[in-house]
Chain A
Amino acid sequence: MIISWIYWVIVVLVILLVVRCLYEEKSLREQLVAAMVLIPLVLRALFIK
């Protein structure tokens, strides 16, 4: 299904942006929050969960 692949691309782009934000973030706490958001996104992008 094409829509699944479009959403896969969306998830991957969001992951890249979150990682970018994680590196630009000056506060350790906010870095932790960004990392938390990454976990489900990465597992979905890898078709694991």
Chain B
Amino acid sequence: MFEKKNLGSGFSATTILIITAVLIFVSAQSYLEMRTPDPDVDRVVPANGFARKKLSDYFDGLKETPADTDVFIQQGEEPGGTVLILGGTHANEPASTLAAVLFLENTRINQGRMIVVPFANIMGRTHTYPQDGHPQIYHIKKEGSKSRIFRFGARVTNPVHQWPNPDIYIHPGSGQTMAGVERSNLNRAHPGRPDGCITEKLAYGFLKLIQKEKVDLAIDLHEASPEYPVVNAMVAHERAMELAAIVTMELETQNISIRLEPSPKQLHGLTHREWGDHTDALAVLLETANPAMGRLRGRTDEELILTGTDKAYRKAFDLGQLYIPYEDGTEPIAERVARHVAVVKELAFNLEMVREGKGIDLEGVPDYDKIVDLGVGAFLAD
């Protein structure tokens, strides 16, 4: 091909540079599209009664930063407790965002208040993670040919906003050491600090939100790899353990089995630990299983995100490597969202059992079977 060693010249260098510039331009278009997506992407249609605020209303250090995210609040007619539903801490865990959006677009609160944050770390939604091969968006089908479009982002804050990370991240407050990249992970940055990096500031914003709104029940929605032990699970701070135990039993009667895990006291930076320690809220974190983020997954595409169908995971299941039932080789998004919705509803419904006068009564949100049968799209606005 290039047999002569000295084919390189100033001319070839310039030519190569021009080609490089074209490649940079083409790939840049794709990356920038995630930063300023079509108005239809990540669009939400809040149900009547939700007021839109910004997280910077609670901590003005976030004003005009790429971290400032939408906060939706609905106040019921009767006084009661306040529940916070946080979706999208990790943008590569779609059931988390979709469950929050489903609440946002369907809920009518009769008693108490509901706060919904569907896209907790929007800085994770503006990029996909290197070597993960993820698509940038996915479509939730609705009736006919209609669909809703959401971004599939990354677990961590876009390095465009926060780079470089140190070799070792020292969690402020606890002094716990972690891998440097965790500094960009919102769920290692709690309770955050007002003068830290942008991800820590974001975490601090949520701390202030919980404190100012006097949140009683704070729920952080996640997904995990099927080979990860804490999956299809609820992790509860010790103060939330009683409520979590009640809900676990309730769910068993509905044939929804969920692992209950105590929040490890030495594991800092996570919501279930830090919100529980630093606020009055009962803090729980929920995990469903998402094959599209696992390390054993095969072909990575939109189909995998939506159906969770994967032959590599099926084989791994036979080898005893998974922590979820996977006999049928699927883990559809509808089931994962339905699971989150069912658990959140039970938590809210039972709050009064552990906090007198802090009951929450809501309606309009479909139950587990309906979501599984009709799909998530059936419960999203046009």
A interface residues (Cβ-Cβ under 8 A, vs B): 1, 3-4, 7, 19, 22-23, 25-32, 35, 38-39, 42-44, 46-49
Chain B nearest CB from A38 CB (Å) reads 6
Q: B91-129, CB under 8 A of A: which get 1 and which 0?
A: 000000000000000000000000000000000000100
Contacting chain A: which of B21-29, B51-59, B72-80, B332-340?
Answer: B21-29
> Which A residues are in CB contact (< 8 Å) with B159?
44, 49
Take A32-B16, A43-B28 as given contacts and tell me if A26 and B8 are in contact as well, using a CB distance cutoff of 8 Å: yes
Which residues of chain A are near B5, meaning CB under 8 Å?
26-27
> Within the assembled complex, what's the spacing in Å between the Cα atoms of A26 and B11?
11
Known interface pairs A39-B20, A46-B28; A28-B163 also in contact (CB < 8 Å): no
* A43 surroundings in chain B (CB, below 8 A): 24, 27-28, 31
Q: 17 A-B pairs, CB-CB below 8 angstroms?
A: A4-B164, A7-B163, A25-B13, A26-B5, A27-B2, A27-B8, A31-B13, A31-B16, A35-B16, A38-B20, A39-B20, A39-B23, A43-B28, A46-B28, A47-B160, A49-B28, A49-B160
Could you tell me the distance between the alpha carbons of A35 and B18 in the complex, rounded to whole angstroms? 10
B12 within 8 Å of A (CB atoms)? yes
Contacts of B24 in A (CB 8 A): 39, 42-43
Given A22-B13, A23-B13, is A35 in contact with B8 using a C-beta cutoff of 8 Å? no
Q: Which chain A residues border B20 with CB–CB below 8 Å? A: 35, 38-39, 42
Report if A48-B28 is in contact (Cβ < 8 Å); known contacts: A32-B16, A35-B17: yes
* Nearest residue, chain A, Cβ from B128: A49
Q: In the complex, which of the residues B19, B160, B164 has the most CB atoms of chain A within 10 Å of its own CB atom? A: B164
Q: How many A-B residue pairs lie within 8 Å, measured between CB atoms?
A: 65
A35-B16, A39-B24, A42-B24 given as contacts; is B6 within 8 A of A27 (CB)? yes
Residue of B nearest to A27 (CB): B8
Q: Let me know if A26 and B163 touch, CB within 8 A.
A: no
The CA-CA distance from A43 to B353 in the complex, in Å, is 54
- Which B residues touch A49, using CB under 8 A? 27-28, 31, 127, 159-160
Q: Assess whether B319 is interfacial by the CB under 8 Å rule.
A: no
Q: Which residues in B have their C-beta under 8 angstroms from that of A23?
A: 10, 13
* B residues in contact with A48, CB < 8 Å: 28, 31-32, 160
What residues on B are CB-neighbors of A30 within 8 Å?
8
User: Chain B residue with minimal CB distance to A23?
Assistant: B13
Contact B8 A31 (CB under 8 A): yes
Bound Cα distance from A29 to B23, whole angstroms: 18
Q: Are B19 and A35 in contact (CB under 8 A)?
A: yes
Contact for B2 among A28, A38, A46, CB less than 8 A: A28
How far apart sit A1 and B294, CA to CA, in the bound complex (Å)?
A: 33
Q: A43-B24, A43-B27 are in contact. Are A22 and B164 (CB under 8 A)?
A: no
Instruction: Please state if A27 and B7 are interface contacts (CB–CB under 8 Å).
Output: yes
B31 touches A28 (CB 8 A): no
Task: Please tell me if B197 contacts chain A, counting CB pairs below 8 Å.
Answer: yes
B169 to chain A, nearest CB (A): 13
| Most A Cβ at <10 Å: residue of B8, B17, B164 | B8
Output the least CB separation between A20 and chain B (Å): 10
